[in-house]
Amino acid sequence: MPALLAYSTSHSPVLEEVARQELGPTDVRIRVAAAAVNPVDVGVLRGPVRALTGLPDPVGLGWDVSGIVAEVGGEITDLSPGDAVAGMLHVIDVKPTVGTHADETVLPAGSVARIPDGLDLTEAASVPLNALTARQALDLFGPAEGRNLLVTGGAGAVGGHAIVLAAREGWRVTALARNSDADFVARAGADLVTELPGPSFDAVLDAAVLLESALAAVCDGGSFVGVAPGSPVAAERGIAVHTVGVQPDREAIAKLLGLAADGTLEIRVAGRVPLHDAKTAYDKVADGGQRGRWLIVPGDQR
């Protein structure tokens, strides 16, 4: 079957025929409808993530996915062939020979959830990794308790979801984004700033990976959460510093898919490409500034 692989000798994804993966007793085999291209995929492909994590050469590309269950392991009783699901494969933990950028993929059942009515099967692929990163990052701050929060990269995939989730939970949210993103930021539930302020926020979620520059916006004794485990920030001024290392969580994914289905989380798709044109999507994501996720779809469907 066709799948995209990352080789240390290439900065472009390589499409190859690979053997089907074995199905374990707690796994599900998914016929891929769509799989998002995320910045971490570019990091795996072009070297930084590979160098930090010791990934094999080659390694399968792709983290999150949507599709139809084709087969379930012998111990699975709550999913069946034909179910529409979305989920994520933790590439760094699993080090797969096949990721989600393929015709089919195998994921642990604990990493996938059914797609609820009202959510498009293909578009659901944009939800798991980004929304789950936002969810788990916010969890590191603890309860809102009336605090104010700055989200850098507020118009990006992680930042946009974080704004919505934080505003729902009582945070007073400000987003760092461009003026052209003002309407989206307002819909998500945040005030807009276009330049980093001085230390005026109880908490900062640094979805844009601005690192020390973003830390400077935190008040003394506040909280900072980054999203790049390979780029830690040193604590200062009594600030609690954490970095989210997103982990698959079936229950959380199900809740986030539900919020996408009812319109609470806005789905944004920048474009769709088939497997053989994946380089287009990877290049777009590498260039930055995308509003929404590029999706890889099997075959030539757009």
C-alpha R_g of the chain: 19
Q: Which domain holds residue 177?
A: 141-243
Q: Is residue 60 part of a domain?
A: yes
Count structural domains, the chain: 2
Separation in Å, CA 60 to CA 17, 53, 92, 96:
12, 14, 10, 5
Summarize pLDDT for 263-302 with one digit per residue, the tens. 999 999 999 999 999 999 999 999 988 899 999 998 654 3
pTM above 0.75, yes or no: yes
What's the CA gap between 154 and 187, in Å, rounded?
Answer: 12
Give the SS3 label for residue 280: helix
* pLDDT the model gives residue 302: 39
| Per-chain mean pLDDT for the chain | 94
**pLDDT mean over 108-137:** 97
pLDDT digits (tens, 9 = 90+) for 243-262: 999 999 999 999 999 999 99
| 302 inside domain | no
Indicate if 80 and 199 belong to the same structural domain: no
CATH of the domain at 26: 3.90.180.10
> What percentage of the chain has pLDDT greater than the value 70?
98
In a shared domain, residues 125 and 151: no
Residue whose C-alpha is closest to residue 259's, from 151, 113, 154: 113
125: pLDDT strictly greater than 90: yes
Same domain, 77 and 221: no
Cis, peptide link before residue 58, omega less than 30° from 0 = yes
190, part of any domain = yes
Q: Is 260 exposed, middle or buried (0-12, 13-18, 19+ CB in 10 A)?
A: buried
Written as one string, the DSSP assignment of 100-154 is SSBSEEEEEGGGEEEPPTTS-TTGGGGSHHHHHHHHHHHHTT---TT-EEEEETT
For residue 134, being part of any structural domain is answered with no
pLDDT at 50 over 80: no
Place of tokens 């809102």: 144
**Residue 248 maps to a domain:** no
